Amino acid sequence: QVQLVESGGGLVQAGGSLRLSCAASGLTFRTYAMGWFRQAPGKEREFVATISWSGGATYYADSVKGRFTISRDNAKNTVYLQMSSLKPEDTAVYSCAAVPSFSGSYYAVSANEYRYWGQGTQVTVSS
């Protein structure tokens, strides 16, 4: 049974930082590309960042580029999202997702490509 469990969300002031973690189990983590998505109230889910299984390739939404950093530790089966210079518009439920990959440079931007999803963690940024 595959499980993706996010943690690290919370309430932070604008300009602050948070680090989200997503612990994976029940899958061969090193063969999966990982992604972070978010959904704000009343809005559609949107892509945030993705990383290849090797960690060598990453891609970010324009709205977070330069402020967020995605990384992974395959020995710990965990993917991270370091968020800095947070803005109120970053407020959302953040979810991680996994997609099987046969290439160390593959990553996915579309939510439709992902096979497994976590339940999400709330991030609230106050102004």
Average pLDDT, the chain: 97
pLDDT value, residue 46: 98
16 DSSP 8-state letter: -
The answer to whether 82 touches 69, Cβ cutoff 8 Å, is yes
In this predicted model, what pLDDT tens digit does every residue of 93-118 receive, in sequence order?
999 999 999 888 899 999 999 999 99
Cα→Cα distances 88→21, 29, 72, Å: 20, 32, 26
90 DSSP 8-state letter: G
In this predicted model, what pLDDT tens digit does every residue of 19-41 receive, in sequence order?
999 999 999 999 999 999 999 99
Q: Is residue 7 over pLDDT 90?
A: yes
pLDDT value, residue 125: 98
- Residue 23, burial from CB neighbour count under 10 angstroms (0-12, 13-18, 19+): middle
pLDDT value, residue 42: 94
In this predicted model, what pLDDT tens digit does every residue of 33-67 receive, in sequence order?
999 999 999 999 999 999 999 999 999 999 999 99
pLDDT value, residue 102: 85
pLDDT value, residue 57: 96
